[in-house]
Structure 1
């Protein structure tokens, strides 16, 4: 997450929003945001949202599905917003939408299922 250098725009229970500036090393050969980096942004944004639940244990991603709609290019500012779709006893379904800077153009949408683990946060600090 630190490598992508997000700026926190919003952090609330069940959702976070981050801003990113697309750098050269985040791009593919045609200077658009690389699909793998897009996936990492979505996964990190959803993962950060999971900390808003203030639970004792970690959740781990068990799948991540991404639809790509339009490119973003080096120098562009993008916004990633995560939200919880459904929370069960052991699993969470969440999504992350990635938008252009003024949130008029959807770049990508990811959905993810996360599984509650037995790893306690306090023992890993």
Structure 2
């Protein structure tokens, strides 16, 4: 994949992403691990403001990480179109706590002319425990 968007992302491999057009992505403060066609991997450190009253990663933040990582995957394709989520289903399997490092890895399953189907898995840092898995469909718009 050789787009200016993918090149922008690649400069952050091994570093915290900064200066993204997505304020939410900047707030999440991920470290980019890989950029490939149809797949990205980000690493996140769970901060206090990302947790629920039980001290674990909030389910809404988990869903947002999944959604945002998939969105970045589609942006890496480049082009004038933008894709917006039309549904998102998240299965939660295990918890992460403040200070834990989690890895989100995305995969585009099918990229059609209008609809994209994708998924993201959220793992613990050692990739021995699947924390959550999300599935989504996104539709192409001209709002970019």
Question: What is the SS of the residue equivalent to 2:142?
Answer: strand
Measured after TM superposition, the shift of residue 55 of structure 1 is 2.5
Structure 1 residue runs without a partner (length 5+): none
What's the counterpart of residue 71 of structure 2?
Answer: 47
What is the aligned length? 120
1:67 matched to 2:88? The reply is no
Question: What is the SS of the residue equivalent to 1:41?
Answer: helix
CA–CA separation in structure 2 for the residues paired with 1:69 and 1:56: 37
Paired residues of 1:15 and 1:52 also in contact (CA < 8 A): no
CA–CA separation in structure 2 for the residues paired with 1:19 and 1:87: 25
When normalised by structure 2's length, the TM-score is 0.81
Structure 2 residue runs without a partner (length 5+): 1-24
* 1:41-120 superposed matches below 5 A: 41-119=65-143
Measured after TM superposition, the shift of residue 102 of structure 1 is 1.0
What's the counterpart of residue 2 of structure 1?
Answer: 26
**Structure richer in strand, relative to its length:** 1
What's the counterpart of residue 22 of structure 1?
Answer: 46
Runs of at least 4 residues off by over 2 Å: none
| Higher RCO (CA-CA < 8 Å; seq separation 6+) | 1
CA–CA separation in structure 2 for the residues paired with 1:100 and 1:9: 14
